[in-house]
Amino acid sequence: MYLGIDVGGTKTLLASLDASGNIVDRVKFPTPQTYPELITAIQAAARQLSQEPYQLAAAGVPGILDRKQGLVLSYGHRDWTNNPIKTDLSAALGCPILIENDGKLGGLAAAIDIINEYKNVLYLAIGTGIGICYTANGIIDQSIDDGGGHTLLLEHDGQTLPWEDFAGGLAIIQKYGLQASEITDPVAWQAIAHNFTQGIEVLLTDRTPDAIVVGGGVGAHLDKFAHFLEEDLTISLGSCPPLLQANDAEEIVIHGCYQLIKQYEATA
C-alpha cells in the first residue's frame, strides 16, 4: 500500500493507493494554520485510511524545497519556513517518504498520462498562483525552480512583477471581481490569455514542448481562452504547441505522488 499526500493552501488530500496506482480510499481536510498541526492531522488521516503499514509515501507541497535536506524552505501563502517535513512525516507515518513541489507532481502526472503521444510537456497549474513543471520523457526538469509564477519576474504595465501577481487566479479576482468560473465576457478572457502568454513566451525561449497541459482552478476553463492563447503564441512565436486540458484536476497531485514513487522504486 502506498500513500499520496497533497498539501494545498486551503485543503489537504490524502489517498491510499494500490500497487497499480488505483486510489483505494481518500480523506480531505482543511489545511491547518500551523505546521505542527499539519503533521498531526496527516498522521491521523493516514491511520483513518489504512491500519496496514504503508510501503512508501510521497507528498506534494506548495513551496520551495531543499530536497537533499528534506526541508520545505517556504510554503506558498503560509509563513512556515525551514520545516523538516521529510523527517517529520516519515516519523509520523512510520514509512519512508518522498517530497516534491505540488505543481511539479501535477505536471509529472499530466505528462505520464500523455507520454505515448507527447514526450516533452510544459504543465501550468493556474490556480490562486501559477505552478510550473517541464518534463522530458516523463522526468521532471528541476532547472525550473519551485517558485513557479511567484519567482518568474516579468515587465507588466511598467512594473517588474511576479507573473502570478498579474496572471494568477487571485489577480483575476482582484481585477474583475469574479472567480474564473463566473467570467463569461470574451474580452476579459482575451486579456487574461494575453497575461498567460507573457509568461509562456519566457518559458519557451529555451524549451520546445510537444504539448502544453493546463490545470488548476483557472485552467479548468481552458475552453474559454484556448483560442486567444493559441493566437497570441502563434503571433509571438510563429507556432503554438497543442493546448490540452489536464485530467482529474482534483487528484492530479496524488497521481503524481504515485508516479514519483514508481520512479524512485525503479532506481532504488
The domain that holds 10 is classified in CATH as 3.30.420.40
How many C-beta atoms surround the C-beta of residue 82 within 10 A?
10
Residue 256 lies in a domain: no
Cα separation of 162 and 151, whole Å? Answer: 6
Residue 70 lies in a domain: yes
Q: For residue 225, give the C-alpha cell.
A: 481562452
The answer on 160 and 61 residing in a single domain is no
At residue 10, the pLDDT reads: 84
Rounded to an integer, the average pLDDT of 153-172 is: 95
At residue 227, the pLDDT reads: 97
**pLDDT per residue as tens digits for the range 85-135:** 999 999 999 999 999 999 999 999 999 999 999 999 999 999 888 999 999
CA 120 centroid distance within chain: 17
At residue 141, the pLDDT reads: 96
How many C-beta atoms surround the C-beta of residue 43 within 10 A?
16
**pLDDT per residue as tens digits for the range 11-51:** 999 999 999 999 999 999 999 999 999 999 999 999 999 87
Give the confidence band of 172 by pLDDT, cuts at 50, 70, 90.
very high
Q: Is residue 171's pLDDT more than 90? A: yes
The answer on 215 and 164 residing in a single domain is yes
The answer on 14 and 122 residing in a single domain is no
CA 213 centroid distance within chain: 11
Last residue of a domain, one of 101, 118, 144: 101
> What's the number of domains the chain is made of?
2
At residue 78, the pLDDT reads: 84
At residue 128, the pLDDT reads: 85
Q: For residue 15, give the C-alpha cell.
A: 489517498
Share of the chain above pLDDT 70, in %: 100
The answer on 145 and 96 residing in a single domain is no
Rounded to an integer, the average pLDDT of 212-217 is: 95
**Domain residues for 192?**
105-249
Last residue of a domain, one of 42, 76, 101: 101
Q: Are 101 and 63 in contact (CB under 8 A)?
A: yes
Share of the chain above pLDDT 90, in %: 91
Give the confidence band of 242 by pLDDT, cuts at 50, 70, 90.
very high
Cα separation of 196 and 161, whole Å? Answer: 13
Cα separation of 178 and 172, whole Å? Answer: 7
Residue closest to 88 by CA, chosen among 138, 53, 37, 50: 37
Give the lowest-confidence range in 124-128, 194-198, 211-215. 124-128
At residue 77, the pLDDT reads: 73
The answer on 115 and 83 residing in a single domain is no
How many C-beta atoms surround the C-beta of residue 261 within 10 A?
22
Backbone angles phi, psi at 147, to 5 degrees: -70, -20
**Residues whose CB is less than 8 angstroms from the CB of residue 104 and which lie 6 or more positions away in sequence, other chains included:** 60, 131, 133, 140, 146, 256
The answer on 67 and 9 residing in a single domain is yes
Give the confidence band of 177 by pLDDT, cuts at 50, 70, 90.
very high
Q: Are 60 and 21 in contact (CB under 8 A)?
A: no
Strand partners of residue 154: 161
* Amino acid identity, position 163: W
Rounded to an integer, the average pLDDT of 61-79 is: 90
The answer on 83 and 35 residing in a single domain is yes
Give the confidence band of 151 by pLDDT, cuts at 50, 70, 90.
very high
Average pLDDT, the chain: 95
